[in-house]
Amino acid sequence: MTYRIDQSGTPATVFGNLFTIVSQDLGFGTDNVAGDATVQAVTYKKDPANTTATAQRVLDEVNDPGTVVATGLPSGTTIILHTDAGDTLFDITGNGVTFHDRLANVIRILYDTGQCNGSGIFTIGLDGHTHIPTPNPVVLYHEMSHAFHQLRGTVAATSALEEQAAETDENVMRDQLGLPERLTTDHTGGCGGGGSGGCLVVTAAYRSEVENPARWLHAVRGAMLPRYGLGGQLFSQAYAQYLEFSADIAASMRVDDELRATVRSLVVDPLLQVYAAAAARWLRTSVVQHAAGQLDRPMPAAVRHPALTPPAPELASAMAAILQSALTSPGSLHAHRDIPGAVRRVIPLIAAGSIGQLTRWALVEPLALYWELGAEGGDIAGRLPAAVAQRSADWLGRAPTLYGNPPSDPARLADDLRAVLVRMRLSDEEQIALSRRLVELHSRHVGYDLSAAIRQAGFVHVAHIEAQSISGPSSEGGAG
């Protein structure tokens, strides 16, 4: 247990970043260090199903006899580094640094968790000129690569080669997060541009606000679905589709305040409301609260205090109509007449979201549910939990995909599914719907008895599912 989180600076962010680096593995946690209240020790009992390289790196550093201390610092902090070569004054803004602290005899990682006071940290993409986002977990993982080399005595001969090695590692983290890769021969980086990565539209919608709900969204997602196994595959496939259209729209929102406000009130805040209702239904907070410490992130005001004034009826009915079209005949979206200008402005976003099966299912359908309630008038937020409960099993049963590649080993699949039940409180009906969908999508492609593996994971009523999938009508058509 020799990886420590400094309790000064921004320890909760460091915890959250490490939790991201271990792919939201619930085996990750912290413990007190006897006689030293200034640090917490990282404890890590890796989930055997979690085979991500980044999780293995954390495990290696936790198990190494040398000590690494990670400190998150707000942008603008200036600090003296007690390096082996002497003392040096260092401004953390836009930076991460790893060095041997000669006074404490530890390897110290310091990094700017404030992302240049919110303006973002950029580095250079593979084309040699594009500024790409470099969010905190990427910065920390890069520094952990340097720390690892120091622990193992494998620091490269020149700083350029050492940077190249750290940037090669960094790209592994980037791949996992669905972020563009960095050019490993260009070590340029700094403040501004690049964006924060992640949910581009949500981030653009809240541009100027401290309380960016994208972080809350990531925390909830991470607590429910780890980035490996079933949850990881489902999310990365959906996220790849989302990235295809979100960058352009987010870019327009950054230069058009009216568009930004419109997308926020008609799309982003309503979606956050639906996701919050789903999270309240599914998330087993008692199990994940400690390990998923980043759930301490403040719930965004948009979710905590849903608008008390209901949307104008003509706006709500127009949104409901547009979304209905998006789900049934996306080609006809622009044919709608006499719709309010605000609604017209979000049509391109809705149209783009309804092209991909996964984004249609994960984004457009939940948004349609919200506006269906909106068109009925009254207290939308109050009625959302019941509406989500009523449709969730059907929705899960229509997942366009679940695994890109199901595990080739039935024990691994059972581990994966068990992990879902540990994190999510799924009703019997929801478990059956999910199991049935898994059987429909994958029973013919895995070389083992899929139903048996599902049963082994503890899902209910598997016998019933087998009966359905054998005698029931085939429903796989078109779902590939």
To Zn ion, the closest distance from the beta carbon of 170 in angstroms equals 8
Of the two residues 97 and 339, which places its CB atom closer to Zn ion in the complex? 97
| Interstrand relation of 68-73 and 3-6 (parallel, antiparallel or unpaired) | parallel
- 109 touches Zn ion by CB under 5 A: no
Of the two residues 138 and 373, which places its CB atom closer to Zn ion in the complex? 138
CA dist., res. 74 & res. 14, Å (int): 12
CA angle (50, 56, 58) in 5-degree steps: 115
Q: Which of residues 451-480 bind Zn ion (CB under 5 A)?
A: none
To Zn ion, the closest distance from the beta carbon of 113 in angstroms equals 16
Give φ, ψ of 49 to 5 degrees: -75, -15
Give φ, ψ of 124 to 5 degrees: -105, 130
To Zn ion, the closest distance from the beta carbon of 137 in angstroms equals 15
Of the two residues 131 and 182, which places its CB atom closer to Zn ion in the complex? 182
Beta bridge partners of 33: 36
Of the two residues 155 and 387, which places its CB atom closer to Zn ion in the complex? 155
Of the two residues 191 and 291, which places its CB atom closer to Zn ion in the complex? 191
CB of 146 closer than 8 Å to CB of 26 = no
Helix axes 341-353, 229-255, angle to 10 degrees: 140
Of the two residues 112 and 163, which places its CB atom closer to Zn ion in the complex? 163
To Zn ion, the closest distance from the beta carbon of 148 in angstroms equals 12
To Zn ion, the closest distance from the beta carbon of 117 in angstroms equals 21
CB of 361 closer than 8 Å to CB of 400 = yes
Tokens of 352: 């783009």
To Zn ion, the closest distance from the beta carbon of 150 in angstroms equals 12
To Zn ion, the closest distance from the beta carbon of 127 in angstroms equals 21
Of the two residues 166 and 292, which places its CB atom closer to Zn ion in the complex? 166
- Per-residue CA distances from 38 to 32, 69, 80, 266, 281 (Å): 10, 11, 18, 45, 37
Of the two residues 190 and 385, which places its CB atom closer to Zn ion in the complex? 190
Closest residue to Zn ion using C-beta atoms: 166
Task: Write each residue from 165 to 184 as x if it is in contact with Zn ion (CB under 5 A), else as -, in one continuous string.
Answer: -x------------------
AA letter at 138: V
To Zn ion, the closest distance from the beta carbon of 187 in angstroms equals 7
CA dist., res. 225 & res. 424, Å (int): 9
CB of 226 closer than 8 Å to CB of 50 = yes
How many Å is the Cα radius of gyration of the chain? 24
Q: How many helices and strands, by DSSP H and E, does the chain display?
A: 20, 11
Q: Which of residues 128-167 bind Zn ion (CB under 5 A)?
A: 163, 166
Q: Using CB under 5 A as the criterion, which residues of the chain lie in contact with Zn ion when the complex forms?
A: 163, 166
